[in-house]
Structure 1
Amino acid sequence: MTAIGTGYDLSASTYSPDGRLFQIEYASKAVENSGTAIGLKVKDGVVLAVEKLIHSKLLIPEANRRIATIDRHIGMATSGLLADGRALANRARDEAQNYRDTYMAPTPIKALADRLGLYVQAYTLYSSVRPFGISTILGTIDKEGPSLYVIQPSGVFYGYNGAAVGKGRQLANTELEKLNLSQLTTREAVFEAARMQVAVNLRSYDLLTFLS
């Protein structure tokens, strides 16, 4: 195995002899060291919850939000570098607006996840850029019902019934697996998300819900 610091980690476009891209692994480490974000897809909606990181009593509570509204029917939660999350949220809003302007309809979340995944993946192809240091949870409720997607720093994305990213993801995912998400209401899911955030972090949190 190649040791870290042997030159193969200087560019996002350079593979090590054992087939690793260290820059993507470093981006994933940034996510693992960040606050926990949780997404739940339930029978009548989607709930997103993020750990609210307050590093100073002087900080305005709303100044470090890692949860955002992308369109009237789509929300986003991120774990990782705050500035990267804001940049990707702005890109997501642009993609959603472009789709609405072109097709005169709200963007399907799978199409948005695909576009954002390609955008994130583009930042792993060139030596002049670095990967996004975030994992992103997208949630929506539309005519197809509730949907939840997670985009990783590599650009790959998957659909989930429940997902957690960040430093508390293992405990949160264990708790998610205990739930019968398809039978939960949004009100019950809000309680479960809050319970998991408190269990994982013992800190404050932000919530965003989308109802049918």
Structure 2
Amino acid sequence: MTSIGTGYDLANSIFSPDGRNFQVEYAVKAVENGGTSIGIRCKDGVVLAVEKVITSKLLKPGANKRIATIDRHLGVVYSGMVPDGRHFVDRARDEARGWRETFKTPIGTADLASRMGGYLQAHTLYQYVRPFGVTAIIAGYDSELETPVEGEVGKGPSVGAGGKVAGKKHGGPFLYMIEPSGLYWGYYGAATGKGRQSAKAELEKLDLAGGELSLEQAVKEAARIIYVAHDDNKDKEFELEMSWISGADGPTKGRHEEVPKAIREEAERLAKKALEGDDEEEEKKDDEKMEE
């Protein structure tokens, strides 16, 4: 008999009488035990960051990446079970490659989120598979440029390659988070993993929907938020891993790339300084309360 004692969690294709799928809920719990991952969508790009918990002193620093490139303009970070996350990445790359082979153009961020959401949802339907133990954050910058169709012969539509409408703005930064159930939403800021609550609270303080935050500012904020969220996991050491995607005229030229070491280290320095400032303010408040 199971720990719940109902028997409704013996297979993922079974619903309990009150409409719950326990296997999916257990998968969410696996995600909540993982390191914190966040994504920030700003006016000129997207930033991904992850608290990569160091499980052994023998691990090589900088190796065992948790942020992966799916296509030139697409990246993903995940929290939860690392093997499941690696399979998620492999499947996402297959989807991106299949799209290029069929349509001769890069896959859109929303299309990739839709396909991967469907793939995760399919793993909640059958008894011979189990739900993915990861929540993934997909970031992309769909090109705003008029790019030719790969292998094009002759002329495309008169309005441009891919049927873009003349005078209308296309492309831009996008951010999606996909949960173990297959549910996905578009976000300005997303957080998952052990420190998701404190990370989400910090993200909500930023004016992301207003479109004022720049890519460089977002890198600094992402580092600070990961350090704040690490308080939920402070008994363990961690590495900060970050990547970013800009438009064609930005620092990454439309590609998903690792944040340069110098910029990342500066962001970490500012994050630690901000945390020390917060600790000093809390100490002052405690002293004032004691005096009263």
Instruction: Give the shorter-chain TM-score range.
Output: over 0.9
Higher strand share: 1
Larger radius of gyration: 2
CA distance in 1, matches of 2:51, 2:205: 21
Does residue 186 of structure 1 match 2:188?
no
Does residue 161 of structure 1 match 2:196?
no
Residue 126 (structure 2) aligns with: 126
Residue 146 (structure 1) aligns with: 173
TM-score, normalization by structure 1: 0.96
CA distance in 2, matches of 1:89, 1:95: 10
Does residue 175 of structure 1 match 2:202?
yes
Deviations 1:145-202 (CA, angstroms, capped at 9, x unpaired): 1000000000011000001001111101110011012211111000000001111116
Classify the secondary structure of the residue corresponding to 1:183.
coil
Residues 133 and 153 in structure 1, CA contact (< 8 A), matched pair in contact too: yes
Residue 277 (structure 2) aligns with: none
Distance apart, 1:81 and its partner CA: 0.3
How many pairs align? 210
Q: 1:195 aligns with which of 207, 214, 224?
A: 224
More off after superposition, 201-210 vs 37-46:
201-210
Residues 36 and 197 in structure 1, CA contact (< 8 A), matched pair in contact too: yes
Matched residues, percent identical? 56
Residue 262 (structure 2) aligns with: none
Structure 1: give runs of 5+ residues left out of the alignment.
Answer: none
TM-score, normalization by structure 2: 0.70
Distance apart, 1:63 and its partner CA: 4.1
CA distance in 1, matches of 2:201, 2:62: 30
Q: How does 1:10-159 map to 2 (within 5 A)?
A: 10-142=10-142, 143=144, 144-159=171-186
RMSD: 1.1
Residues 198 and 204 in structure 1, CA contact (< 8 A), matched pair in contact too: no
CA distance in 2, matches of 1:12, 1:114: 21
Deviations 1:78-122 (CA, angstroms, capped at 9, x unpaired): 001000000000000010011011111000111111110111011
Distance apart, 1:17 and its partner CA: 1.2
CA distance in 2, matches of 1:35, 1:65: 13
Classify the secondary structure of the residue corresponding to 2:53.
coil
The one-letter amino acid paired with 1:124 is: T
Q: Give 4+ residue runs of structure 1 displaced > 3 Å after superposition.
A: none
Which structure is richer in relative contact order (CA contacts within 8 A, separation 6 or more)? 1
